[in-house]
């Protein structure tokens, strides 16, 4: 019997039993199984808006399977609402706070099992990190993507709105069209509708073996069968507890490499690099950032999903979702199908052929792109590595003069003002995990570059990160970061920067001696963290090349 059952036994526990009576729970039922339901609902974003209802469905599934459900909530931060603002600093910080919250509640009320309901970007890795720390049986249910909007005869998502801002600034889109697009792009609740970070991580959850039920995470949030999927997640958590399936037994090197392959094959977000490194760290698995490059190089794009491909998340679900992606990867020998999942079935047993080869390739089909959805670049500008997404970039080589900006706002203003020219390499520094703090996403800048028609001729290099909706030749996660004295801090306006994907190189065209002389000069003064929580985070966060985990 676990500690959770001991909290109600004996005369001295009468006060605790009083509180159970107050909630309508018969203390005798605390003999188990007791299932914690961690919801990441907040009313501040559409992404997680359905989760209160889903939590009740999960609870119904737990009850129906003979368990006692105990619901609790965490915080969450919307990336889209905060993008391009100081509030975006809170996004990555929230990953740690959510993981800590789940860990803390589960430590206070040691459950037999956990169901984590996740949606918006950081909530997904946070839940997996918490499960890895706690190592109690658990499952992760993704609440699901939004449907696409419809505008001028085509499906659209919030990515189109971001890029429309740049088109509007360039005078190529009217006020009326911008307002019209903004009204229809996001027709209801759910995560952003492309293979952006939230949905990328929902794919990863399944390939890590923790998704429940397998393939249901990418079912749209408003789908009529989502409630049934949630009840299934509740029942599966109890089943996993009965079988003694613990997260760390699933979260091994094989599962992480399967997840990396799935992210690459779906043209997923570069944020997955950061998050999977952090999950590996929490699970005690040795995983190096260069493995993303090796797996990315051999993994073709097998699902044509926006922003690099043609289709939205709703189409991915219609085409068969992660079971179809698993089948396509297995056919090419790119994942290990013997990997177990929380369901008790292997990945290979859960794979199923695509229902639409336009979205996920069918047996014998050619990939949508031959390989290399993301790459890790190194060089004198990124000795610890940097990450570039290739699924949304058409160029493999760029050489140009640096346009240096300390912080995102200055770069965004320059792009919108037409102060960035073809061939330039926009350098945004001071946005790393500690320097930001919080490693903001640069979607406002990258979308403005694309919107101004510079996507094919301008590159960007930053110690910040990118939204999954970013496309173009954009290099992020540059480590070590500028605020900690990384070489990015010593780049000067007009310095030549080389991005060479084939050579996996990110190089600054100055000599080692010159770079050392610049480093020996006075250190730049970076702004102080804007509040106590950010100061605590900045003091405890590690390098992006190791997942930006806190210690
Ligand atoms: Fe929440 Fe996109 S901002 S999923």
| C-alpha of 272 from chain center | 5
| C-alpha of residue 379 to centroid of ligand 1, in Å | 33
Burial 232-262 (b: 16+ CB within 10 A, else e): bbbbbbbbbbeeebbbeebbbebbbbbbbbb
One domain, residues 251 and 203: yes
Residue 51 and residue 108 in one domain? yes
470 lines ligand 1 (CB under 6 A): no
Work out the angle between the directed axes of helices 532-540 and 89-108 (0-180°, nearest 10).
80
pLDDT for 392 = 59
* 96 and 180 inside one domain: no
Sign of the C-alpha dihedral computed for residues 378, 379, 382 and 384 taken in this order: positive
Q: Flag whether 44 is in a domain.
A: yes
The CA 540 to ligand 1 mean position distance, Å, reads 26
Q: What is the dihedral of CA 162, 470, 118, 276, to 10 degrees?
A: -160
pLDDT of 121 strictly over 70:
yes
Let me know whether 92 and 159 are in one domain: no
Q: Is the CB of 191 under 6 A from ligand 1?
A: yes
pLDDT average, residue stretch 85-108:
96
Please answer whether residues 229 and 220 qualify as being in contact, where contact means their C-beta atoms are separated by less than 8 angstroms.
no
Ligand 1, closest atom to CA 198? 4
Cα–Cα separations (whole angstroms), residue 510 to 122, 301, 384, 482, 495: 37, 36, 18, 17, 7
pLDDT tens digit sequence for 53-84: 999 999 999 999 999 999 999 999 999 999 88
> Of 180-184, 296-300, 381-385, 389-393, which range is least confident?
389-393
Coil, helix or strand for 542? coil
In three-state secondary structure terms, 237 is: helix
Confidence of residue 394 (pLDDT cuts 50, 70, 90): low
Same domain (yes/no): 219, 236? yes
Q: Return the closest-CA partner of residue 335 out of 256, 251, 390, 280.
A: 256
Per the model's pLDDT, the better-predicted residue between 32 and 266 turns out to be 266
Catalytic amino acids? 467
Closest C-alpha among 408, 131, 172 to residue 255: 131
Rounded CA separation 199/121 (Å): 8
Q: Tell me the two tokens of residue 545.
A: 């090349």
Q: Is the CB of 375 under 6 A from ligand 1?
A: no
Same domain flag for 272 and 383:
no
- Residues 367 and 300 sit within 8 Å (Cβ to Cβ): yes
Q: What is the CATH number of the domain that holds 488?
A: 3.50.30.80
Q: Which has the minimum average pLDDT: 106-110, 203-207, 531-535?
A: 106-110
Question: Which residue's structure tokens are 């429940």?
Answer: 212
* Tokens encoding 534: 């950010």
Does the structure show a pLDDT above 50 at 91? yes
d(CA 122, ligand 1 centre) in Å: 9
Domain that holds residue 462: 374-546
Could you tell me which residues are beta bridge partners of residue 141?
117
Determine contact, residues 215/186, Cβ cutoff 8 Å: no
Q: Are strands 459-462 and 113-118 parallel, antiparallel or unpaired?
A: unpaired
- First CA to last CA distance, the chain: 32
Q: What is the pLDDT of residues 487-516, one digit of tens each?
A: 999 999 999 999 999 999 999 999 999 999
Cis peptide leading into residue 213 (ω within 30°):
yes
Instruction: For residue 83, give the ligand 1 atom closest to its CA.
Output: 3
Span from the CA of 84 to the centroid of ligand 1 (angstroms): 14
Q: Ligand 1 atom 1: the closest Cα is on which residue?
A: 120
Q: Which atom of ligand 1 is nearest to the CA of 467?
A: 2
Whether 478 and 508 share a structural domain = yes
Looking at the domain assignment, is residue 366 inside a domain? no
- Specify whether 433 is located in the same domain as 500: yes
- Six-digit token pair at 488? 């990015």
Please report whether residue 19 resides in a domain: no
Q: Are residues 199 and 67 in the same domain?
A: yes
3-class SS letters over 110-159: CCCEEEEEECCCCHHHHHHHHHHHHCCCEEEEECCECCCEEECCEEECHH
Does ligand 1 come within 6 angstroms of the Cβ of 97? no
User: Is any atom of ligand 1 closer than 6 Å to the C-beta of 47?
Assistant: yes
Contact 496, 484 (CB under 8 A): no
Residue 328 forms part of a structural domain: yes
Residue 296 lies in a domain: yes
Q: Both 246 and 342 in a single domain?
A: yes
Task: Clarify whether residues 341 and 482 are in a common domain.
Answer: no
Ligand 1 atom, smallest distance to 119 CA: 4
Per residue in 219-266, pLDDT (tens digit) is: 999 999 999 999 999 999 999 999 999 999 999 999 999 999 999 999
The answer to whether residue 106 is domain-embedded is: yes
Strand-strand pairing, 505-508 and 496-500: antiparallel
11 in a structural domain: no
Distance CA 14, CA 16 (A): 5
Pairing state between β 149-151 and 459-462:
unpaired
Give 366's DSSP letter.
P
- Which pLDDT value is given to residue 4? 54
Residues 227 and 324 in one domain: yes
pLDDT mean across residues, the chain? 94
Q: List alpha helices for 208-342, DSSP H.
A: 226-243, 247-250, 253-265, 271-283, 290-298, 313-319, 321-331
Alpha helices of 266-407 — where are they, by DSSP H? Answer: 271-283, 290-298, 313-319, 321-331, 347-350
Asked if residue 48 has its Cβ within 6 Å of ligand 1, the reply is: no
Task: Give the Å distance between the CA of 119 and the centre of ligand 1.
Answer: 8
In eight-state DSSP terms, residue 185 is S
Ligand 1 neighbour 78 (Cβ under 6 A): yes
Q: What is the pLDDT of residue 232?
A: 98
42-46: average pLDDT: 97
For the residues 307-328, what does the mean pLDDT come to?
97
CB 191 within 8 A of CB 145: yes
The answer as to whether 336 is a domain residue is: yes
Average pLDDT over residues 191-207: 97
Give the pLDDT score at 1: 41
Residue nearest atom 2 in ligand 1 by C-alpha distance: 192
Domain count, the chain: 3
Could you tell me which of 67, 16, 19 has the C-alpha nearest to residue 238? 67
């Amino acid at each position: 019997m676990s500690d959770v059952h001991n909290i109600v036994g004996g005369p001295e526990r009468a006060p605790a039993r009083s509180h159970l009576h107050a909630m309508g729970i018969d203390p005798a039922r605390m003999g188990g199984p007791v299932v914690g339901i961690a919801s990441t609902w907040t009313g501040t974003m559409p992404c997680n808006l359905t989760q209160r209802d889903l939590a009740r469905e999960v609870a119904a599934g737990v009850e129906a399977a003979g368990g006692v459900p105990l619901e609790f909530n965490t915080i969450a931060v919307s990336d889209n609402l905060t993008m391009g603002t100081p509030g975006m600093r809170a996004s990555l910080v929230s990953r740690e706070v959510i993981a800590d919250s789940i860990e803390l509640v589960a430590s206070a009320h040691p459950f037999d099992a956990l169901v984590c309901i996740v949606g918006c970007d950081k909530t997904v890795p946070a839940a997996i990190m918490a499960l890895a720390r706690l190592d109690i049986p658990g499952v992760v249910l993704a609440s699901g993507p939004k449907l696409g909007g419809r505008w001028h005869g085509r499906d659209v998502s919030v990515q189109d709105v971001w890029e429309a801002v740049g088109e509007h600034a360039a005078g190529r889109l009217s006020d009326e069209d911008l307002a019209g697009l903004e009204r229809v792009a996001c027709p209801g609740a759910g995560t952003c509708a492309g293979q952006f970070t939230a949905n990328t991580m929902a794919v990863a959850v399944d390939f890590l073996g923790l998704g429940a039920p397998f393939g249901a995470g990418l079912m749209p949030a408003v789908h009529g069968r989502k409630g049934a999927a949630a009840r299934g997640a509740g029942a599966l958590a109890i089943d996993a507890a009965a079988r003694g399936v613990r997260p760390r037994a699933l979260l091994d090197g094989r599962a992480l490499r399967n997840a990396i392959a799935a992210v690459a094959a779906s043209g997923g977000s570069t944020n997955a690099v950061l998050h999977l490194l952090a999950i590996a760290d929490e699970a005690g698995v040795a995983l190096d950032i260069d493995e993303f490059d090796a797996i990315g190089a051999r993994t073709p794009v097998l699902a044509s999903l926006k922003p690099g491909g043609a289709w939205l998340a709703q189409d991915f679900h219609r085409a068969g979702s992660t079971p179809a992606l698993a089948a396509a990867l297995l056919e090419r020998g790119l994942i290990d199908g013997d990997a177990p999942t929380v369901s008790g079935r292997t990945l290979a047993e859960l794979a199923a052929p695509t229902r639409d080869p336009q979205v996920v390739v069918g047996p014998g089909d050619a990939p949508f792109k031959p390989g290399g959805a993301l790459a890790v670049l190194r060089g004198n500008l990124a000795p610890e590595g940097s990450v570039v997404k290739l699924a949304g970039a058409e160029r493999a080589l760029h050489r140009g003069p640096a346009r240096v900006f300390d912080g995102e706002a200055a770069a965004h203003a320059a792009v919108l003002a037409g102060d960035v020219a073809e061939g330039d390499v926009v350098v945004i520094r001071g946005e790393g995990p500690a320097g930001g703090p919080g490693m903001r996403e640069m979607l406002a800048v990258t979308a403005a570059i694309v919107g101004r028609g510079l996507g094919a001729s301008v590159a960007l290099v930053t110690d910040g990160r990118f939204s999954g909706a970013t496309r173009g030749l954009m290099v992020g996660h540059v480590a070590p970061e500028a605020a900690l004295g990384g070489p990015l801090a010593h780049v000067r306006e007009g310095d030549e920067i080389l991005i060479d994907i084939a050579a996996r190189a990110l190089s600054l065209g100055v000599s080692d001696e010159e770079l050392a002389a610049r480093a020996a000069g006075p250190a730049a003064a970076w702004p102080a963290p804007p509040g106590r929580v950010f100061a605590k985070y900045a003091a405890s966060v590690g390098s992006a090349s190791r997942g930006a985990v806190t210690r």
